[in-house]
């Protein structure tokens, strides 16, 4: 993985950590207000949900970058290494196609919801739904880089197995 990709991965990781910190602060405030003041602000639950949504989708993109998603590899492990490379390439190509469709449909969903507002915070719902196409594009870039590495012979199935 190049230094630029490592830095971007680290930036995403810190963004996710920041979202987690904001969510913990938000939920803590909600709990304090509920039990001390007996009246929690209505927007805190909605904010926690929106922060959690962004956190999950960005973390999924980081998992793509690190190759941390669950893989059923029993069939790949049983074939010769030359076929393993082809299977790895083919599966990554299918995942890339899926992610591009997901990004495209997610962008359509953002445009359809961009004129709606959330009930408590009156936040543009397109901002919330943008987490899907953003994470799909980031994931697609990671998968594309993995495809390039596979074509160059940089990573093999046994290297990927050892990394997980």
| pLDDT averaged per 10 residues in sequence order, the chain, 164 residues | 86 96 96 91 94 97 86 82 86 95 98 95 96 97 90 62 49
Compute φ and ψ for 73, nearest 5 degrees.
Answer: -120, 15
Q: What is the pTM of this model?
A: 0.86
Domain ranges for the chain: 3-163
The 8-class DSSP code of residue 118 comes to -
State the helix-helix crossing angle for 3-32 and 131-152, rounded to 10 degrees.
150
Strand partners, 117: 124
CB-based contacts of 56, cutoff 8 Å, min separation 6: 131
User: What pLDDT is stored for residue 155 in this prediction?
Assistant: 62
């Amino acid at each position: 993985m190049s230094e630029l990709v490592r830095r971007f991965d680290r930036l995403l990781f810190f963004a996710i950590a920041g979202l987690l910190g904001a969510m913990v602060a938000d939920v803590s405030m909600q709990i304090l207000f509920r039990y001390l003041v007996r009246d929690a602000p209505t927007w805190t639950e909605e904010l926690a949900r929106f922060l959690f949504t962004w956190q999950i989708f960005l973390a999924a993109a980081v998992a793509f970058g690190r190759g941390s998603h669950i893989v059923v590899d029993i069939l790949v492990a049983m074939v010769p290494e030359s076929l393993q490379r082809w299977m790895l390439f083919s599966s990554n190509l299918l995942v890339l196609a899926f992610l591009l469709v997901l990004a495209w449909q997610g962008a359509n969903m953002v445009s359809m919801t961009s004129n709606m507002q959330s009930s408590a915070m009156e936040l543009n719902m397109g901002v919330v739904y943008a987490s899907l196409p953003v994470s799909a594009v980031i994931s697609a870039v990671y998968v594309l880089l993995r495809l390039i590495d596979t074509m160059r012979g940089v990573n093999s199935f046994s290297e990927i197995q050892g990394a997980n």
